[in-house]
Amino acid sequence: MAFFLGIDVGSGYTKAVVCEDTSLRSYSIIPSGGDYRKAALESSENALKKINISMSDISNTIATGYGAAIVDFARQTLSDISCHAIGINYLFPSVRTVIDIGAQYSRAIHLDSEGRIVNFIMNEKCAGGSGKFLQVTARILQMDIKDLGRLSLTSEKPVEFTTACAVFAESEAVSRISEGALPADIVAGIHKAMSSKIIVLATRVGLVPDYAVTGGGAKDIGLVRAIEKELKTNTFVAQEPQITAALGAAIFASSR
Amino acid sequence: MAEEKKGRAVATKTAASIPKFVRGNLAATLKAKEEGKKVAYAYIADGQDEIMRAMDIVPAWGESFAGVCAAKRDAEKYLQKAESDNFSRSLCTYATCTIGFDMVREELGGGAVPDAPWGGMGRPDMILGSAQLLCDPRFKWPQATQHYLRDVPVFVGSMYYPPFDPKMDHHEQEKFYVKYATEELRECVKFCEKHTGKKMDWDRLAQIVELSDRTWDLFIDTYELRKAFPTPMDTGDAMNTMVPLTFNLGTQEAYDFYKQLYDELQQKIANGEGVADPEKYRLIWAAGLPSWFALGDFQYFNSKGAVFPVEVTYRGCEKIERLELPKTNDPLEHIAWRWVRYWTHWYDKARKRPGSLPKVERIIEYIEEYKCDGVVFHSAFSCRSWHAGIIHQAETLKKVYREIPILILEGDIVDISSYNEADTHNRIDAFIEAVDSYKKRMN
């Protein structure tokens, strides 16, 4: 038996996962803040502490994500796209299309039957299909981002946004609030605009079922349902979708 | 403040002479007046190179100067200058960079511009544009420039070639396009004669055109050496070694450069010297101008064992015999035929593969001949002529050829504000992993 550590330093959150061989044992999610190395250390220590082990018990560490290069205690780095692919293949082997919604980027990854990447695509430099859009929405509605999903599901008449641009949608949402639109309908409209943008992106790598939604955006049930509506099918979502890349990194670490 | 980047560690020795070429071209525009020569603002791939050379007109290449500004990370001041007069950032940044430079130079009285990268460009005596299918700013860039250089005469010719139609044999139309292009070139000669006060020396023009043909052949012979395993030169170098073909066509220096490069590549092949050691992945740079401020990204690819033995960008020629040009004694008609046949060279192949496109056929041809494992495009947002069709090309390639890994990088040619190194490297990392998995699958 051996322990393996996977660390995903994202632009919003840093996630650490500890696996015992290939079994998930613990994890930690903390805001990345302005010091990625510190965040990587802190999240790793949190995850290790939960199962009463220390860094010296770790056989191999792999870092991934935006700040992976800064994690100097990792033996190797691997791209977050590969880590998402490994993580999802581990959790849901039938999945062929992974939709990852992170804080800054959304991505679609097409996997083959053995979980290898066939192709991938990332959004352009645009917050339209990313978690940033949800943060903007929560701010203008003065809500906690965690509450957006459930609120969205109560909507009966989603607002039709004329844009999928986060910047323009912000001013459009403000106009709709002043016109008396319900917060639930605004959030549902935002989810619809985001999902449509994400599916356009995913179509470019090829929409092959089964589908999984992952990343922080997958924690928003309203967004997941909107994506499923666009896809006209259900999707797989992990119990904690934010740690998929870190899990993939830990699984990869166990194979080295 | 300008930021100098380190040179490429894996560059060929011959490529190291390129800065001298570029500096020489810029310096020639600055000292032309002393030598009693006329300077013309010129634009690449416009078919007018040999006319300028035959009439001793010194070309001042805006695209080259803007590229130098970008590579030295010193373009912002000119982009901002153009922006201050309402030129949008979404316009071609080659154009806005040089227009901004023109504005600065005019404010200083038209002489040398202090602190201009590599001395800048001399004030032109004429502007020789060519509005053609290659790039839409070509229609308005010269006129926009004239807004600041009121006394400088402008010629904008029109060099066209038949559009691709899978149901139509373009060979039936090409003679009309050739006739049109020839007449446009003849108008260009008349314009140059008027503004230089000299008559065209037609024998000299014919000799220069013949030298250009030989340079085209030698260029392709040289670049085809890159088919070797490991490849002795990749696109990182080709973004420099394109300079003589692109900016010095019709000169002995350009021909001699490729002879030297040919010899060096042969030597590298004999010694088994490659760009990456070991060479693990072979990629094609399938479309798009590079980010001149981030040429180091090619080395990042190399550090992963990935090399580019071939690129579409700046490979602006083909072996003359493959173009099967009709014989003519008129050098202008020869240029026109070479122009039309080059740009339509992949039409016949594209018609034979349902759903394909000439640009895609060219990529497929190179993938097969250079044994490539993956395809990289660069979408430069301010360059619409490349940017607009890239996704379509990528999707067509997958549809008519095979599910080969494709990476679309995003950035710009000159505007560094669009670039994020960490994000670019992250995409490259994931792409290399996808190519690795593709190779394993194919094996």
Residues of A in contact with B401 (CB under 8 A): none
**Cross-chain residue pair A119–B403, CB shorter than 8 Å:** yes
Q: What is the pLDDT of residue A179?
A: 87
User: Which residue would you say has higher pLDDT here, A74 or A1?
Assistant: A74
Residues of B with CB under 8 A from a CB of A: 391, 395, 398, 403, 405-406, 408, 410, 418, 420, 422-423, 426-427, 429-431, 433-434, 437-438, 440-441
Q: What is the sign, positive or negative, of the torsion defined by CA atoms of B34, B38, B43, B45?
A: negative
Helices B93-107 and B62-71: angle between axes, nearest 10 degrees: 90
| pLDDT on residue A163 | 67
More confident residue, B112 or B417: B112
Query: Do residue A129 and residue A212 come from a single domain?
Result: yes
DSSP string covering B268-322, please? HHHHT--SSSS--EEEEEEE----GGGTHHHHHHHHTTEEEEEESTT-----HHH
Across the A:B interface, residue pairs with CB atoms under 8 Å apart total: 50
Residues facing residue A76 across a β-bridge: A62
Q: How far apart are CA B274 and CA B373, in angstroms?
A: 17
Query: With left for phi above 0 and alpha for psi between -120 and 50, is residue B73 left, alpha or beta?
Result: left
Residues 6 or more apart in contact with residue A224 via CB below 8 angstroms = A149, A213, A218, A235, A237
The answer on A107 and A68 residing in a single domain is no
Could you tell me if A85 and A190 lie in one domain? no
| Domain coordinates in residue numbering, chain B | 14-442
Using a CB–CB cutoff of 8 Å, tell me whether A116 touches chain B: yes
In this complex, which of A82, A119, A125 lies closest to B405 when CB atoms are compared?
A119
Task: Please provide the distance, in angstroms rounded to a whole number, between the alpha carbons at the two ends of chain B.
Answer: 50
Mark yes or no for CB contact B391/A125 under 8 Å: no
Mean pLDDT of B57-85: 94
Q: Coil, strand, or helix at residue B375? A: strand
On the question of pLDDT at B419 being above 80, the answer is yes
Q: In the beta sheet, which residues pair with residue A58?
A: A3
| Rounded Cα–Cα distance for residues A167 and A194 (Å) | 13
Which chain A residues are Cβ-neighbours of B304 within 8 angstroms? none
Could you give the 3-state DSSP secondary structure of residue B167? coil
pLDDT digits (tens, 9 = 90+) for B322-366: 999 999 999 999 999 999 999 999 999 999 999 999 999 999 999
Helix (H) or strand (E) holding B427: helix B421-442
Size (chain B), residues: 443
A101 and A53 in a single domain? The answer is: no
Distance of CA A156 to the CA centre of its chain: 27
Q: A82 at the B interface (CB within 8 A)? A: yes
Mean pLDDT estimate for chain B: 92
Residues A2 and A75 in one domain: yes
Interface pTM, i.e. ipTM: 0.74
Q: Are residues A141 and A159 in the same domain?
A: yes
A114 and A189, same domain (yes or no): yes
B7 has a pLDDT exceeding 60: no
Same domain, A41 and A165: no
Nearest chain B Cα to A77, which residue? B429
Q: What is the tens place of the pLDDT at every residue in A229-241?
A: 999 999 999 999 9
Closest of B404, B372, B418, B56 to residue B235, by C-alpha? B372
Structural tokens at position B116: 């201009």
Whether A12 and A132 map to the same domain: the answer is no
Q: What is the pLDDT of residues A76-103, one digit of tens each?
A: 999 999 999 999 999 999 999 999 998 7
The DSSP element (H or E) to which B333 belongs, if any, is helix B331-343
Residues 6+ apart with CB under 8 A from B116: B101, B104
pLDDT score recorded for residue B418: 75
Tokens of B12: 């060929």
Q: And the tokens for B328?
A: 């003519």
How big, in percent rounded to 5, are the helix, strand and coil portions of chain A?
45, 20, 35
Q: Is A122 on the interface with B (CB under 8 A)?
A: yes
Beta carbons of A82 and B433 less than 8 Å apart = yes
SS3 A208: coil
User: Based on the domain organization, do A55 and A86 belong to the same domain?
Assistant: yes
In the predicted model, is pLDDT for residue B82 greater than 60?
A: yes
CA B11 to chain centre: 19
CA atoms of A28 and A51, how far apart (whole Å):
12
For residue A82, list chain B residues with Cβ-Cβ distance below 8 A.
Answer: 429-430, 433
Q: What percent of chain B has pLDDT over 70?
A: 97
Total of domains in chain A = 2
Chain B residue with the nearest C-alpha to that of A86:
B433
Q: Which of B377, B397, B429, B439 to mutate to test the interface with A (most CBs of A within 10 A)?
A: B429
Rounded to whole angstroms, what are the CA distances from A98 to A63, A89, A239? 20, 9, 15
Query: CATH number for the domain including A129?
Result: 3.30.420.40
Assign A164 a pLDDT band (cuts: 50, 70, 90): low
Give pLDDT, residue B2.
44
Secondary structure (DSSP) of A129-192: TSHHHHHHHHHHTT--GGGHHHHHHT-SS----S---HHHHHHHHHHHHHTT--HHHHHHHHHH
Across the interface, of A81, A118, A204, the residue whose CB is closest to B403 is A118
Q: Say whether both A26 and A147 belong to one domain.
A: no
Band the pLDDT of B5: cuts 50, 70, 90. very low
Which tops the pLDDT comparison, B57 or A66? B57
**Whole-prediction pTM:** 0.85
Domain span at residue A83 reads 1-92+240-256
Q: With 60 as the cut, is the pLDDT of residue B4 above it?
A: no
Q: Which residues of B touch A66 (CB under 8 A)?
A: 422-423, 426
